[in-house]
Each structure stands twice: as structure tokens, then as C-alpha cells.
């Protein structure tokens, strides 16, 4: 497997974007190289969870992590206070501690709400992005912007939460619809 690393340096934080076909198959090994966490809250949506959740969970578990899978409905309507609260309550129920990690497996909505949960749970736990859409791979997984929508508008509440690492696997893009592919291309342009 050929892997490229792009180093991102921002004020107060540095991380790598690891890019390569098959990266998703080695996510456990890659994460064990950047964290001593015991537990992982793996946040995804039901669509991505069906496609990639079991193999990501198994890979993380094989690297020694205790994985707690949390799933939300797909789409922008899930990026709200109620769903964020449900994620935070689940993290508390699962015993997630300050040294543990929240992993976002999905597109921009999953990354935004999982990152927001990571930024606010215990006043901040580590966060990892595994983007599964082109738009998320070229934009939303990088830069640390997280948030939820209010009834008054999109992304009105949020926090900057830089990831420990971004694991980008272009091979997962083969599952995208034409509309999602076009949206990602437009954003890249």
C-alpha cells in the first residue's frame, strides 16, 4: 500500500493527513501510532455504517481498542442539539474518558457533529477524521471546524477542534452517488 502524508500545521496544533488506497484497512495500526487511548467512540451515520462500519470497528478492535459504535441518521437534519446531546450521553454511558478518542467515519455532517462532541465532552477529548465523501476528503475533514445547526441557521454553534490525524482512503469514494461525487468536485474546484 502506497501512503502519502501531508503535514498540517496550525496555531497550537499539528497533524498529518494520511492518504492512500486501503488506509481504512489499517486504521487501527495507524491510530495506535498516535494515541494511547483505550476506548474509541466511533461515530458514523447509518448509510456509511452499513458500508464501512463493521470492517473499521474490527480493524480498530484488532489493534487493541475498545470500540463503541454510535450511529446517527444520514444528512444535515441530524446536525442538531438533540443528536449532539444523544452522542454526548452515549459517550458518558460508554465510559469515555479524557484520554480516549472520538473517531468520525463519514462525510461532513458526521465529521462536524462528532468533532463538536469531541470538543465539548469533558471539555475536549481527542478526535480523528476518516472522511468517506470527496467533499469531506478535500474540505471539511481538514481545518478543525466543527459544529451543529440551530433552527435559526446552519453552523451557528461550533468549536475549532483539530484532529489527531485524518485518514483518507480514496477507495471508499467508489460507493458515492453521482450527486455526491459532483458536489465534491465542485468544492475542490
pLDDT in tens, 30-41: 999 999 999 999
Q: Which position has the grid cell 444528512? A: 75
177: exposed, middle or buried (Cβ count in 10 Å: 0-12, 13-18, 19+): exposed
Is pLDDT above 90 for 108?
yes
| Rounded (10°) angle between helices 108-120 and 81-93 | 60
CA distance 119 to 123: 6
What is the percent of the chain with per-residue pLDDT over 90, rounded to a whole number? 88
| CA 139-143-145 angle, 5° bins | 95
Q: 181 or 171, which is more confident?
A: 171
Which triple of cell numbers denotes residue 189? 474546484
CA distance 3 to 140: 21
Q: Which position has the grid cell 461550533? A: 158
Q: Which position has the grid cell 467515519? A: 105
User: Tens digit of pLDDT for each residue in 147-163?
Assistant: 999 999 999 999 999 99
Is pLDDT above 80 for 1?
no
CA distance 55 to 105: 12
Is pLDDT above 80 for 79?
yes
pLDDT of residue 119: 98
Amino acid at each position: 500500500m502506497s501512503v502519502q502524508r501531508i503535514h498540517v500545521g496550525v496555531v497550537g496544533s499539528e497533524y498529518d493527513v494520511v492518504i492512500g488506497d486501503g488506509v481504512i484497512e489499517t486504521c487501527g495500526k495507524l491510530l495506535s501510532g498516535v494515541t494511547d487511548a483505550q476506548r474509541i467512540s466511533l461515530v458514523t451515520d447509518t448509510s456509511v455504517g452499513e458500508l464501512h462500519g463493521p470492517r473499521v470497528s474490527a480493524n480498530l478492535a484488532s489493534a487493541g481498542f475498545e470500540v463503541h459504535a454510535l450511529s446517527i441518521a444520514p444528512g444535515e437534519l441530524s446536525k442538531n442539539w438533540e443528536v449532539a446531546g444523544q452522542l454526548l450521553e452515549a459517550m458518558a454511558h460508554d465510559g469515555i474518558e479524557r484520554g480516549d478518542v472520538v473517531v468520525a467515519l463519514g462525510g461532513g455532517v458526521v465529521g462536524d457533529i462528532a468533532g463538536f462532541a469531541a470538543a465539548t465532552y469533558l471539555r475536549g477529548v481527542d478526535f480523528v477524521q476518516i472522511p468517506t465523501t470527496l467533499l469531506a476528503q478535500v474540505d471539511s475533514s481538514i481545518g478543525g471546524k466543527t459544529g451543529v445547526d440551530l433552527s435559526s441557521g446552519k453552523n451557528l454553534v461550533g468549536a475549532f477542534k483539530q484532529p489527531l490525524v485524518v485518514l483518507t482512503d480514496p477507495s471508499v469514494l467508489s460507493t458515492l452517488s453521482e450527486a455526491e461525487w459532483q458536489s465534491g468536485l465542485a468544492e475542490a474546484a
